[in-house]
Copies of this chain bind each other. A is one copy, B any other.
């Protein structure tokens, strides 16, 4: 079950890593994240750019530069990250990929899928970066 794109997955892993370091008001180097997590550096810069443009992160060039979360990890939710990277219409898509599907002209699985998406969205809305990072306290855990 492939739900998120690679870009989102990488970014999520990176943000969980950043959150777990819990260093406020300090830039974390993208290069360092890339090395620690074995994620393509250039791939990361691209996704971080998007999040910076959308206001979730602040970035800083030059030595001691990097990225920094703009809000406390308790106030950043999974849904924010996913919508910013996958697009605001992430939860609006039809299971069968039918372009015309909607409330006005629902496909056979429209209502079924609407419920499923609603439940998933609720989970994403209630799960913060702090929740996700909490699991990482255990050092043996791999991200």
Q: A90-B1, A105-B140, A117-B1 are in contact. Are A123 and B132 (CB under 8 A)?
A: no
Whether the pair A1, B105 counts as a contact (CB closer than 8 A) is no
Whether the pair B119, A119 counts as a contact (CB closer than 8 A) is yes
The range of chain A's interface size is: 35 or more
Min distance, Cβ A93 to any Cβ of chain B, angstroms:
5
Q: Which residues from chain B contact A100 at a C-beta distance below 8 Å? A: 142
Min distance, Cβ A71 to any Cβ of chain B, angstroms:
19
Number of copies: 2
Closest partner residue, chain B, to A20 (CB atom): B108
Contact flags A97-117 to B (C-beta < 8 A → 1, else 0): 110110001111110100111
In the docked arrangement, what's the CA distance between A12 and B96, Å? 8
Whether the pair A123, B116 counts as a contact (CB closer than 8 A) is yes
- Answer yes or no: A3 CB below 8 A from chain B CBs: yes
Between-chain CB contacts (< 8 Å), 23 pairs = A1-B3, A1-B90, A1-B91, A2-B2, A3-B95, A9-B95, A12-B96, A12-B109, A13-B96, A96-B143, A100-B142, A106-B135, A107-B135, A108-B132, A108-B133, A108-B141, A108-B143, A112-B127, A112-B131, A112-B132, A115-B123, A116-B119, A119-B119
A-side residues, CB < 8 A to B, are 1-4, 6, 9, 12-13, 16, 86, 90-91, 93, 95-98, 100-101, 105-110, 112, 115-117, 119-120, 123, 127, 131-136, 140-143
